[in-house]
């Protein structure tokens, strides 16, 4: 796949079923972080608000969700049923997208990013 210019073109490059799931992830992030800026970063859709909030990507068998290391660490119990690593969790294409969990993780990252800004401003 050539480098996408925006999230719409990125999502459009996938089969219809995967597109639907990617749109669900995108919508969940937008609802949880309405002020976040939507960008393409590292070749995938991302949302940033005073730093990275979350990235997501489509693959042959799963949707990758990347709320950075702290976002994963804060939800280790909730993501244990999914394949995961220090910075990512994989949601299988044949299972419903855990929208509520995604929103919780995104809200955590927004709060974390905003608190980092407040700490910097105090210094």
pLDDT digits (tens, 9 = 90+) for 63-77: 999 999 999 999 999
Report the topology of domain 7-122. 3.90.1150
* Residue extents of the structural domains in the chain: 7-122
Q: Are 13 and 60 in contact (CB under 8 A)?
A: no
87-107 confidence digits (pLDDT tens): 999 999 999 999 999 999 999
pLDDT band for 3, please (50, 70, 90 cuts). Answer: confident
Strands annotated E in 30-94: 37-41, 44-48, 52-58, 62-66, 83-84, 89-92
Distance CA 50, CA 117 (A): 7
Relative to beta strand 52-58, strand 83-84 is unpaired
Cβ–Cβ under 8 Å, residues 53 and 29: yes
The pTM for the full model equals 0.93
């Amino acid at each position: 796949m050539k480098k996408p210019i925006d999230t719409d073109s990125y999502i459009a490059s996938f089969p219809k079923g995967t597109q639907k799931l990617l749109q669900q992830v995108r919508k969940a992030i937008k609802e949880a972080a309405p002020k976040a800026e939507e960008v393409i970063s590292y070749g995938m859709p991302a949302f940033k608000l005073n730093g990275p909030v979350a990235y997501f990507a489509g693959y042959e068998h799963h949707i990758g969700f990347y709320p950075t290391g702290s976002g994963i660490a804060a939800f280790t119990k909730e993501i244990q049923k999914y394949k995961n690593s220090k910075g990512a969790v994989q949601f299988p294409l044949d299972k419903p997208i855990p929208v509520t969990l995604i929103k919780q993780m995104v809200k955590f990252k927004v709060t974390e990013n905003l608190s980092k800004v407040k700490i910097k401003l105090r210094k």
